[in-house]
Chains A and B, each alone.
Chain A
Amino acid sequence: MSILQSVKNLVRSKSIHVAYVDVGSCNGCDIEVLACLSPRYDIEQYGIYVHNNPREADILLVIGAYTPGWEEKLHTLWEKIPDPKVAIAVGNCPISGCLFNRPHTLVDPPVSKHIPIAAEVPGCPPRPTEILAAVLSVAPLVFKDYEVAKR
């Protein structure tokens, strides 16, 4: 691997854009993702910028248990995100459906059936520190050797 490539890897891992999409959660995980922005946890000090624009995102945080309203929409959204991209499932909902995965429910978990999920953060809801740790662990891998892999 060239030196240029490793410099690129390093730099890019410090500049990650995160978008989050709520596919039928209870809001608990939503506000824990928001809490990551707070000065206490301050996700931006790691070079991670959270906003809600999928078109410039690198990491998509998926929250929620996949309700029927999101059929196709989630997939469309996933396609709008430019490569390279990863999705992280935050909370129990996208992993197992949490308490909603019961008879008569409308949700259709897990989300990994619908889009590829790279990492999971269990917990209902996970602590901001846990979300942070997951994003940080995935961040260096998103762009790693992107040019090499593309060729």
Chain B
Amino acid sequence: MAFPIIPYIQEVTRLEWLRKFFFVKTAPLLTPPYFRGFPELTGKTCTHALFCMMACPAPGAIDVIRTPGGWQPRIHMGHCIRCGLCVEACPNGVLTSGRILESMFYDNTRLSFSFRIDVNTDLCMGCGNCAVACPVNKLIDAQMSHGGRASTDELLLKVSEGKCHVLHVEKCTGCKTCENHCPNEAIRVSRLLEAVHGQEEEV
């Protein structure tokens, strides 16, 4: 503390300081390329898998809408938090933001979804609403769509002996239609997101 002024004098006599003081201009206001901005479309075809919407943590940030040219995700500014999960979750690379797509390619990473269906047998009363509403069931067995009886065991959801049974959970697309149609809140679909390394298996 003897000569406390010395650090200050040293500071203003540094060449670097003088150079900055006289010559430096403010840096241009650029957005670096590695910044994750709002997701933008790459122009690839959206298959309406809705993984982006399932991964999105922000309420009301992303919608997949139908345009004359097919399905298209739309980001709502003011809701989107620019997390980039939708970019990572999309299996077709429809969205892009910053370097995420590039990084996913180099690092060989992706987000994978799996679904888990829990039926609370105490609450389930076997009405079959879920099995009738499930769009996957409809595809497998056309009869299901107008409330017919289940004819095959290939179905995703099937009601037998007065309770709903999950037969092929791997076919679930995570749409949660069943959950919305259950009068008793007995069925619960969980979307399990997993951050994995490695190539996507062919489906």
Residues of A within 8 A of B (CB): 39-42, 45, 92, 95-96, 98-99, 101-102, 120, 122-124, 127, 129, 132-133
Q: Which 3 A-B pairs have the closest CB atoms?
A: A124-B81, A95-B78, A122-B77
Q: A42-B26, A122-B78 are in contact. List 11 more A-B contacts (CB 8 A).
A: A40-B27, A96-B79, A99-B58, A101-B59, A102-B59, A122-B77, A122-B80, A123-B77, A127-B35, A129-B31, A133-B29
* Known contacts A41-B29, A129-B29, A132-B29, A99 near B57 by CB under 8 Å: yes
Select B81's contact among A92, A120, A127, A133, beta carbons within 8 Å.
A92
Of listed A39, A42, A124, residue having the most chain B CB within 10 A: A124
Q: A99-B57, A99-B58, A99-B59 are in contact. Are A124 and B82 (CB under 8 A)?
A: yes
Q: How many chain B residues touch the partner (CB < 8 A)?
A: 17
Measured CB to CB, the closest approach of chain B to A107, in angstroms, equals 12
Contact with A along B29-73 (1 / 0, CB 8 A): 111000100100000000000000000011110000000000000
- Please, which residues of chain B bring their CB within 8 A of the CB of A96? 60, 78-79
B34 to A: closest C-beta gap in Å: 12
A-B contact pairs, 18 of them (CB 8 A): A40-B27, A45-B26, A92-B58, A92-B78, A98-B58, A99-B57, A99-B58, A101-B59, A120-B78, A122-B77, A124-B80, A124-B81, A127-B31, A127-B35, A129-B29, A129-B30, A132-B29, A133-B29
Q: Is the CB of A98 within 8 A of B81?
A: yes
Contacts of B80 in A (CB 8 A): 92, 122, 124
Closest CB in chain A relative to B174 CB, distance in Å: 20
Residues of A near B26 (CB, < 8 A) are: 39-42, 45
What separation, in Å, do the CA atoms of A124 and B31 have in the docked complex? 15
A28 to B81, CA, bound (A): 12
A96 and B77 alpha carbons, distance in the complex (Å): 9
Considering only residues 8-28 of chain B, those with a C-beta below 8 Å from chain A are 26-27
Shortest distance between the CB of A30 and any CB in chain B (Å): 16
A98 to B81, CA, bound (A): 7
